[in-house]
Amino acid sequence: MLSRIADSMYWMARYLERAGETARLMEINLLYLVEAEEDMGEEDKWRPILQINSSEPLYDEQFGGGISTPRVLQFISAGRSNPSSIRTCLRLFRENARVARDRISKEMWEAVNEIWMNFDERLKGSLTPERAGAIFVELRNQVARFNGLVASTMMRGEAYAFYQLGGCLERADMTARTLDIKYHIILPDLSMVGSALDYYQWAALLKSLSGFEAFRRNYHSAFMPADVAEFVVLNREFPRSIVFSVKHMGGALQAIGLENKAATEAAFQSLSESVEVTVKQIFDNGLHEYLDELLRRLSLLHGALAEEFFQ
């Protein structure tokens, strides 16, 4: 396979996953945090989303740090200057699909164009919370539909493996960022770690990862910090957990083959070792420190892939 095709399949999946995950975060923030925390200022409600999206410095530069709901909705959803905005991700999703057009199915290509044209049009103009909320729900559904088409119509070859690799890496990255930022908002004081806190905020955290119902089926007690972290990081059956994503990255790399790819093999081995831990070990060393190191290892794997496969 040509390196540019592998690169496009990888980034096609990453950009679509990023768009869908961002839409889910924005939707949950509108539905739960904004309504539940009337005493919170707009900055407290929205800055975590900018941090998870890695857009905080650019937002502050563009708007001078003044955070408001209309500005954040526009910036995160349709900001043309924001490389991680939903619109930018969908545009790049389509551009990468176009490069790899001969490796994806006709149904996938038709869905790519439908998604781009629909949301490019709908993201024009000002966004009210009500209008934006409806867009986020629809985009989330369209992403799920597209991934269903991938699963049911795409040949299981190297192209599929690179697509799976990109999607899983992006999902692990977004899950780690979301848990890190939101967890420490709920627990602003280290002395409070281990206590059962507000049901509403824990529900919002888990719903932003599409894990609320699954968590409640696995843990029948009150929301405990260690239980939430264990579920999101180490549960091997939850499809948005970090360990689940790492496992499927390993399957994709095995399908691609790592012969003479020493840097990628070493980076993935290091990443795999990071999820072979217990929740006690994670908390003994610090959850933030653990997630920060995990994100670093994900970045190293991405760099190794770029060097050995995409260049």
**Within this chain, do residues 165 and 140 fall inside the same structural domain, yes or no?**
no
Give the residue from 117, 99, 95, 112 showing the smallest Cα distance to 149.
112
**Within this chain, do residues 149 and 11 fall inside the same structural domain, yes or no?**
yes
Among residues 119, 154, 189, which one ends one of the domains? Answer: 154
For residue 144, give every residue at least 6 positions away whose Cβ sits within 8 Å of its Cβ, in sequence order, or none. Answer: 20
The angle subtended at Cα 15 by Cα 29 and Cα 182, nearest 5°, is: 30
From first CA to last CA, the distance across the chain in angstroms is 13
3-class SS of residue 4: helix
Backbone phi, psi, residue 251, to 5°:
-65, -40
**Within this chain, do residues 186 and 300 fall inside the same structural domain, yes or no?**
yes
**Within this chain, do residues 75 and 128 fall inside the same structural domain, yes or no?**
yes
DSSP run (H or E) holding 183: helix 158-186
163 φψ region: left (φ > 0), alpha (ψ -120 to 50), beta (else):
alpha
Residues constituting the chain: 311
For residue 23, give every residue at least 6 positions away whose Cβ sits within 8 Å of its Cβ, in sequence order, or none. Answer: 86, 135, 136, 139, 140, 143
Among residues 121, 154, 187, which one ends one of the domains? Answer: 154
Tell me the C-alpha distance between 282 and 287, whole Å: 6
| Per-residue pLDDT in tens (0 to 9) along the chain, 311 residues | 789 999 999 999 999 999 999 999 999 888 876 555 555 677 878 888 999 999 999 999 998 878 888 999 999 999 999 999 999 999 999 999 999 999 999 999 999 999 999 999 999 988 998 999 999 999 999 999 999 999 999 999 999 999 999 999 999 999 999 999 887 777 655 555 444 445 677 888 898 899 999 999 998 877 788 899 999 999 999 999 999 999 999 999 999 999 999 999 999 999 999 999 999 999 999 999 999 999 999 999 999 999 999 97
Give the residue from 216, 232, 171, 222 showing the smallest Cα distance to 197.
222
101's tokens: 């057009």
Residue tagged 């957990």 (tokens): 241
192's tokens: 């409070």
**Within this chain, do residues 139 and 161 fall inside the same structural domain, yes or no?**
no
Could you read off the pLDDT of 79-93 as tens digits, one per residue? Answer: 999 999 999 999 999
Among residues 154, 172, 189, which one ends one of the domains? Answer: 154
Give the residue from 291, 236, 299 showing the smallest Cα distance to 268.
299
Question: Rounded to a whole number, what is the largest CA-CA distance in the chain?
Answer: 57
**Within this chain, do residues 168 and 25 fall inside the same structural domain, yes or no?**
no
**Within this chain, do residues 210 and 279 fall inside the same structural domain, yes or no?**
yes
206's tokens: 């888990």
**Within this chain, do residues 60 and 180 fall inside the same structural domain, yes or no?**
no
**Within this chain, do residues 170 and 307 fall inside the same structural domain, yes or no?**
yes
**Within this chain, do residues 257 and 296 fall inside the same structural domain, yes or no?**
yes
Structural domain of residue 22, as residue ranges?
A: 1-154
**Within this chain, do residues 219 and 118 fall inside the same structural domain, yes or no?**
no
**Within this chain, do residues 173 and 306 fall inside the same structural domain, yes or no?**
yes
Q: How many domains does the chain have?
A: 2
Q: What is the pTM of this model?
A: 0.92
